Amino acid sequence: MKVKIDPSRCVGCGICAETLPRLFVMGPFHARVRHSTLTPPEELLVAQIAEDCPSGALQFEEEEVPSLAGRSAGNGYDEPDHDEQVG
């Protein structure tokens, strides 16, 4: 999960930067995100910070996971063609 701050909504209260300074820093007018990718424990804390944010400036987005649809998982070995002789 990633977090973003909407600068047009942020009022610069500093709740996010005070609570989690590793992820958020205060700029001159609004907070900025230092690291957008969250660890699982940070996801819970940021969810609470988002609830406490008076302007609702924190936004979450799911990270895209590459799809394996249509790809063969394989076993890591080249399999011989059935028409070839092995030996």
Query: Quick one: pLDDT band at residue 53, thresholds 50, 70, 90?
Result: very high
Residue 12 included in any domain: yes
Residue 17 included in any domain: yes
Residue 27 included in any domain: yes
Overall domain count for the chain: 1
Residue 24 included in any domain: yes
pLDDT score of 35: 84
Containing domain of residue 50, as a range?
2-61
Q: What is the mean pLDDT of the chain?
A: 82
> For 15-23, which contacts have Cβ atoms below 8 Å and span 24 or more sequence positions?
15/49, 15/52, 15/53, 15/54, 16/46, 16/49, 16/53, 16/58, 19/45, 19/49, 20/45, 20/46, 20/49
- Does this model's pTM top 0.85? no
Tens of pLDDT, residue by residue over 19-31, are 999 999 999 999 9
Residue 39 included in any domain: yes
